[in-house]
Amino acid sequence: MRFVIQRVNHANVKIDGEVVGNIGHGLLILFGAGQDDTEEMLPKYVDKICKMRIFEDENGKTNLSLADVGGELLIVSQFTLYADCRKGNRPSFTNAGAPDMANALYEKFVAMCRERVPKVETGRFGADMKVSLENDGPFTIMIDSEDF
């Protein structure tokens, strides 16, 4: 799995001009599933993301978690996180998980986040989405299951 995590002041996702997910202060997570990813991997990443201390405390130090600041989540599926650009000029997506498997992992990830975070919004798997955000910092982190 690959996650691009952005600390945001606010973010939303639109489909056909309609806002389908909208958050205030929190994290925008772009989620991609790879061919070898499994449901058993999810708890580790949910825990890591929810406990990650990337929000500023009263001294301006990145010392607070999502729960500490009452943050919200916007989770958007993005298979293009598995783009392989090593050959030619057209990215290959052969390492991305098959749509049915990837969607199942995405939905399970969202459900697990909802058990820990009061407000979790989403896009729609496979849809043409327009994501808008105000990155706070900017502060962006990438997590790749290949690194764990």
Q: Please write the tens of the pLDDT for every residue from 66-115.
A: 999 999 999 999 999 999 999 999 999 999 999 999 999 999 999 999 99
Domain spans of the chain? 2-147
pLDDT of residue 147: 86
Cα distances (Å, whole numbers) of residue 84 to 22, 87, 140: 30, 8, 21
Per-residue pLDDT tens digits for 25-46: 999 999 999 999 999 999 999 9
Catalytic positions: 78-80
Cα distances (Å, whole numbers) of residue 146 to 68, 80, 106: 29, 16, 18
State the pTM of this model: 0.95
* Close Cβ partners of 86 (under 8 Å, ≥ 6 residues apart): none
| Rounded Cα distance, 13 and 1, in Å | 21
Class of the CATH-defined domain 2-147:
alpha beta
